[in-house]
Structure 1
């Protein structure tokens, strides 16, 4: 088979070629005993990772052959520093060759890597140090390693936990003597994964080699991986979709990948589509809803997208990690159809870190399919015959992946029939081993091999439809309401974007619960703010039949998880503590 260069090189890249899409190495779909064995095999080919600057210019081609050499040197260095199998190594998951080598080197040494987030724009230095310290306390690592640029913050977090601290440079000398590496078994723990929202009560998901490789094989089969596929990603490597789906999967399934750093995507989101355009093979790329949303919003109606982009070879445009918004997906299709993007490329899926990653995936080519469901049925509340029926579009998230079972259970634990809404449970080889050092939390969600996902949904002819998170449900006067319904109601008003609204319940002075809605306000005139508040209140009342506390807050006030999702729980906490200060409409 002839090599195919994946990306057309820029003039500045004439001496730096990306790793190819294809080579002569026969593809194995993650059928290995351990992840180290998977990397050993991938290293015999020519594929690898490719890192790009904010403008999408290739800055480093990193073949799996080179990654394996660097990773083994890291393993020797860890052993020389006294690490033994089962020790934890906390790593700040910056997208780049340093993290990749440290993560894989830890695995070779039998050490459990623990990827942790980079600082975000929200919260500041002290909050970031606090977040790291809490997760370090949970994972109890021997050492924390991170980029030298944020060394002051990572050193402060390490000092609070009492663990060692090092920077990338401390592992680049390559002077450790080669030694025999431990014999890793398939049921050994491979790594610990913290969910993006793990701040106050973190749960480290312990994933074995068997679970990891089972899931990597399952989702590559579900995506019907093709020889000329290439992954393009900006997803963070501390989130399960970025770490498992767009980093570990590429190695285990021998796929080349191109990366933008997450913060670079946030500044220049269309650089993601530029990379997809330049791929001469077929593209596989995933994003939560907000990634598609921000790209569609950056394109004006006057822009000739076909002059800049060619998205005709984007074979799989994955959707996951959050509730999938069909209206946003349609806006993306409308914006980029002239550039060759096909709606059938969308690949909805459902997964969570506790199942390693993928639970269900839509069969390729079926695109986004929705069912309209009455809001009362979604919440389990009796129908109010005095109001017209309202419906929400629920997205089909596909079928269970290989070696995974999915059922819907009611409050009594019994399995429900098609179209009956209940708790989503799954069972399979890739379900987590446990929450690290937390047997109570493990026992609460793992029952006889079945995982309680905490999500609500229903099945229909083998397909899974996700309704929402059980813990986000707002219960007022015995009636259930989904916060998404309230948030989406406000988003229908002009001037609001996805992510501008957070809804949750609060307790009033009389002890009763009521919904509170925090809304980013970009209006400065006091009179117009009052009009806007009343307009929002009327809209929410029309949609839900409830009176809500409406608070207008400054833009960018609402907190997000490290993967970019709205954190309603943290928004509620910051609002009640006064850290989110609403505008004084009486002023």
Structure 2
């Protein structure tokens, strides 16, 4: 397993020895299931190799892939690695983003990537052709790939060569391109496979998009390079029919599944008792929550809701991951139970200390561990000046590993800002306790009210539990008020309750936030379901909803 330091050589090795081995079963709501063997994968990806050659792609050039079909996305990506190009998958347009905004963002991505090549489908070509300069971008259509015969992989001998580019694109604009080498990716896969105790009896189930690091690394490249079978479905199909995931686990006897925190609540709320009849989830050994921070309430809700189908507490695992480390930094729950702590919330907010609560603690806060560092990864907590902090002091999470990014692509300025003396500064807040990492949130999301630190996710969790609020559809953020010299707290929450009851719900929200966080909510707005917008990773976007609030709802 993972004998070569070159990603594609591991895939080629499996294909040459076991061409009929199943790589992935793709599930589609309309088309049924498609099985992809390793031999079939190499043959179809080889057609893209031929197309890239015909279009003049040079090795180590970036090829951006934007496609609404996961099958073609896989072939285009693997074909690019076979050819020695640098694939970068970008989200295709959804109904929530206007064609004009998507085209503008895509044009910016192509510019930042300094690429000449885009793989897409005909409908997208028709949508963006007026925004993409035809003289500088060669738009290759997947519909044309069948006209090409398969070509073999080109030899790649340098493990330090960049093998892929991850772009994290949110709703408010393009983020940094994370360039990863063969050695970084392979080191990550080896380290993580060891931590997971991955074996050939495992089978991975996923609905995650391939343009996000959780979907790309844990649920695509990990099974691809190790020979572990994958059951993959479109995130759009899963959102429309959440039972697709459980049916796949039941039928295919899957053992591993990664999900962001919202999915636990979503499944618990959207799956009916009728749907669950005769569904068996006992084959699972780990549902891995890879959000930061992770909600203990979400885990409890998920476990209680699906206990009758075989879900147990020891299946609920945690992970801290980021594209800049290829993927996982820490992992919890595989060998030992995930740790949960109850803290003195006042000490967290006022003194930046994670002090365990006792019987005299007035206000408590429950946090869940993201586990311990995986092999060849180090974690430390630092202050604003970069000095290491003792255990249970809250500061910025810094990491060091053998799977870190080579650079932010074509951005030496951002690379030097992010990496200091070999340590990557994550921008996340957290603390260490007995080797376990507890993640509390993003530094940029922190709300500071009269010197007190308020974590928006704490507000969001409280409000989600208020009767009448749509679970998990809450966003909190701060707006600086120059007249009072500090930030105001704004809460946006979705509800389907009639307007006559809105005042009662707002009062309940204000009371709960005041009593549990000793914080005043300055503006509480109840909104129709689906008003809040998400980033392309599927998470509610605080920056995006803050901008939408300021432009649409904030009085001038």
Say yes or no: TM over 0.5. Answer: yes
Query: How far apart, CA to CA, are the structure 2 residues paired with 1:397 and 1:160?
Result: 46
Equivalent of 2:207 in 234, 256, 269: 234
Alignment partners' CA distance in 1, 2:352 and 2:331: 32
Q: Distance in 2 between matches of 1:540 and 1:161?
A: 55
| Contact residue 171 and residue 544 of structure 2 kept, 8 A | no
Structure 1 residue 380, shift from structure 2 partner: 4.1
Change (3 A) 1:468 1:84: same
Alignment of 1:390-429 (within 5 A): 390-429=363-402
C-alpha contact (below 8 Å) 1:144/1:154 kept by paired residues: no
Q: Which string of whole-angstrom CA distances, capped at 9 and with x for unpartnered residues, describes residues 200-231 of structure 1?
A: 24200000000001101111111101221111
Deviation at 1:303, TM superposition (A): 4.6
Structure 2 counterpart of 1:5:
none
Structure 2 unaligned segments of length 5 or more: list them: 354-359
**Contact residue 299 and residue 335 of structure 1 kept, 8 A:** no
- Take 1:561 and 1:427, find their aligned partners in 2: how far apart are those partners? 27
Structure 1 pair 389–118 and aligned structure 2 pair: CA distance change class (3 A): farther
2:25 counterpart of 1:50: yes
Correspondence for 2:517: 544
CA distance in 1, matches of 2:57, 2:180: 20
* Per-residue deviation, 1:410: 2.1
CA deviation string 1:13-66 (max 9, x = no partner): xxxxxxxxxxxxxxx1x23221110111121321311111227x8521111111
Q: Decide which of 500, 503, 506 is 1:530's aligned counterpart.
A: 503
The within-5 A match list for 1:76-475 is 76-94=50-68, 96-159=70-133, 162-175=136-149, 178=151, 181-197=154-170, 199-280=172-253, 282-300=254-272, 303=274, 305=276, 307-381=277-351, 389-475=362-448
Q: Is the 8 A contact 1:405 1:426 kept in 2?
A: yes
Q: 1:346–1:388: structure 2 CA closer, same or farther, 3 Å change rule?
A: closer
Classify 1:393/1:546 alpha carbon distance in 2 versus 1 (closer, same or farther; 3 Å).
Answer: closer
Deviation at 1:334? 0.9
Moved more, 140-149 or 442-451: 140-149
CA contact (8 A) 2:120 2:140 kept: yes
1:372 partner SS:
strand
Residue in 1 that maps onto 2:357: none
Structure-2 separation of matches of 1:367 and 1:155: 52
Give, in whole Å, the separation in 1 of the partners of 2:127 and 2:185.
Answer: 31
Structure 1 residues not aligned, in runs of 5+: 1-27
Residue aligning to 2:48? 74
CA distance in structure 1 between the partners assigned to 2:377 and 2:505 by the alignment: 48
- The separation in 2 between residues aligned to 1:179 and 1:506, in whole angstroms, is 56
Q: Does 1:477 align with 2:450?
A: yes
- 1:566 matched to 2:536? The reply is no
Please say which of residues 256-265 and 513-522 is displaced more in the overlay: 513-522
CA distance in 2, matches of 1:350, 1:183: 31
In 2, distance between residues paired with 1:413 and 1:292? Answer: 35
- Backbone CA RMSD of aligned residues: 2.3
**Deviation, structure 1 residue 467:** 1.1
Shift of 1:93: 5.0
| Count of residues paired in the alignment | 544
Alignment pair present for 1:36 and 2:8: yes
